[in-house]
Amino acid sequence: MSEPRHFIAGTELTRAELEAVVQRAVELKEIGADGPRPLAHRSVALLFEKPSTRTRVSFQVGISQLGGQVLLLRSEELQLARGESVRDTALVLSRYIDAIAVRVGEHALLEELARHSTVPVVNALTPLHHPCQALADMLTLRERFGRMEGLRVAYVGDGNNVCHSLMLLGARAGVEVVAATPAELRPDAAVVAAAQETARVVEDPAEAAAGAHALYTDVWVSMGDESESARRRELLAPYRLDAGLLARARDDAVVMHCLPAHPGEEITADLLYGERSAVWDQAENRLHAQKALMELLLP
């Protein structure tokens, strides 16, 4: 049996594969729901610990459109909640299903599951990476500008999992990502080092925004960070994405946000819902990008 192809950080894809997945996503978007059914007679488990709107719905709809069956598994309903090991869970699930998409609060759990799984494991969000979101972001940039290579994205706010994945997949695609974050909330140093050819970190959001094709932000208080919400809001107040910051970018720059959004906090309502917003395209593109990814992982 060949080794399964996992999608954990996004760097499992070569540059050529990333370009091919994005191109296939463009094609699948054009075809719509009546396209090919490569996942016919196949089953994909969604193992989720955390709440989800876009990730859950886009995976469920996408797998269904590809002809597959979805099993939604909540961790509290599995024997994991009663002490069964992640290894045993992986070994058993691998006998039943063809792939597992995982959304969990501990990245190490995802890595252990992938280590013992004999079917592909897809990272549907951990605190360290959110590569499916970044895949949809690359598709969105390709749609808006006709290319990925040579674009510049300014990310402003918390140096979190979304920032990490933007940097890593951006490096694969030739997209420069400049992250403006407070010193206390800088992205992981190892991630920055891995993407150093196209990524850098600054503290001044105006510096990051200068000449950017896209301005990107995320919530100030992510799931799991609620206990320090007041501190985060204080640190991130200067990093709000508003008209003044957008004015420093290119005239054709777009606004991006991975959602859910808090208008008036990390982004102003006029930008979120305005004519330069690519936010809703990003959300839709989760569906098409993940369909293309599943085709690659389950040929």
Residue 23 CA to residue 29 CA, distance in Å, equals: 10
pLDDT of residue 79: 94
pLDDT-above-90 percentage for the chain: 93
Is 288 an annotated catalytic residue?
no
Whether residue 182 lies inside any domain: the answer is yes
Is 250 an annotated catalytic residue?
no
Claim to verify: residue 124 and residue 137 sit in the same structural domain = no
Let me know: does 25 contact 139? Beta carbons within 8 Å.
yes
pLDDT, one tens digit per residue, over 162-204 is 999 999 999 999 999 999 999 999 999 999 999 999 999 999 9
Q: What is the mean pLDDT of the chain?
A: 96
Structural domain boundaries enclosing 248: 133-283
Claim to verify: residue 57 and residue 113 sit in the same structural domain = yes
pLDDT of residue 1: 62
pLDDT of residue 75: 83
Whether residue 2 lies inside any domain: the answer is no
Claim to verify: residue 197 and residue 262 sit in the same structural domain = yes
Claim to verify: residue 139 and residue 230 sit in the same structural domain = yes
pLDDT-above-70 percentage for the chain: 99
Residue with tokens 């045993």, as numbered in its chain: 88
Closest alpha carbon to 151 in 195, 206, 203, 198: 198
Is 98 an annotated catalytic residue?
no
Whether residue 21 lies inside any domain: the answer is yes
Structure tokens at 165: 């994945």
Claim to verify: residue 220 and residue 163 sit in the same structural domain = yes
Is 240 an annotated catalytic residue?
no
Amino acid symbol at 228: E
pLDDT of residue 229: 87
Whether residue 220 lies inside any domain: the answer is yes
Is 242 an annotated catalytic residue?
no
For 131-141, letters b (16+ CB in 10 Å) and e give bbbbbbbbbbb
The vertex-131 CA angle with 24 and 243, nearest 5°, equals: 95
Claim to verify: residue 236 and residue 107 sit in the same structural domain = no
Residue 227 CA to residue 245 CA, distance in Å, equals: 29
Residue 38: CATH number of its domain: 3.40.50.1370
Cα 106 from chain centroid (whole Å):
16
Claim to verify: residue 78 and residue 27 sit in the same structural domain = yes
Claim to verify: residue 82 and residue 156 sit in the same structural domain = no
Closest alpha carbon to 258 in 133, 101, 151, 124: 133
The one catalytic residue among 232, 258, 276, 282? 258
Closest alpha carbon to 295 in 66, 54, 70: 66
Claim to verify: residue 228 and residue 259 sit in the same structural domain = yes
pLDDT of residue 236: 97
DSSP per-residue codes, 157-169: S---HHHHHHHHH
Q: What order of strands is seen across the sheet that includes strand 99-103? A: 69-74, 43-48, 99-103, 121-125
For 60-69, letters b (16+ CB in 10 Å) and e give bbbbebbebe
Whether residue 10 lies inside any domain: the answer is no
Whether residue 9 lies inside any domain: the answer is no
Contacts of 195 (CB under 8 A, 6+ apart): 167, 168, 170, 171, 177
Whether residue 261 lies inside any domain: the answer is yes
pLDDT, one tens digit per residue, over 26-85 is 999 999 999 999 999 999 999 999 889 999 999 999 999 999 999 999 988 899 989 999
Domain count for the chain: 2
Mean pLDDT of the region 237-250 = 98
Residue with tokens 């959300």, as numbered in its chain: 283
The one catalytic residue among 6, 163, 218, 257? 218
Given pLDDT bands bounded at 50, 70 and 90, which one contains residue 212?
very high
The one catalytic residue among 54, 129, 130, 232? 130
Claim to verify: residue 229 and residue 119 sit in the same structural domain = no
Structure tokens at 147: 């290319």
Is 87 an annotated catalytic residue?
no
Claim to verify: residue 108 and residue 175 sit in the same structural domain = no
Whether residue 155 lies inside any domain: the answer is yes
The one catalytic residue among 103, 164, 172, 232? 103
Claim to verify: residue 117 and residue 49 sit in the same structural domain = yes
Beta bridge partners of residue 215, listed in sequence order:
154, 255
The one catalytic residue among 137, 286, 288, 290? 286
The one catalytic residue among 133, 213, 288, 290? 133
pLDDT of residue 280: 98
pLDDT, one tens digit per residue, over 154-170 is 999 999 999 999 999 99
Least confident of 109-123, 225-239, 253-267, 283-297: 225-239
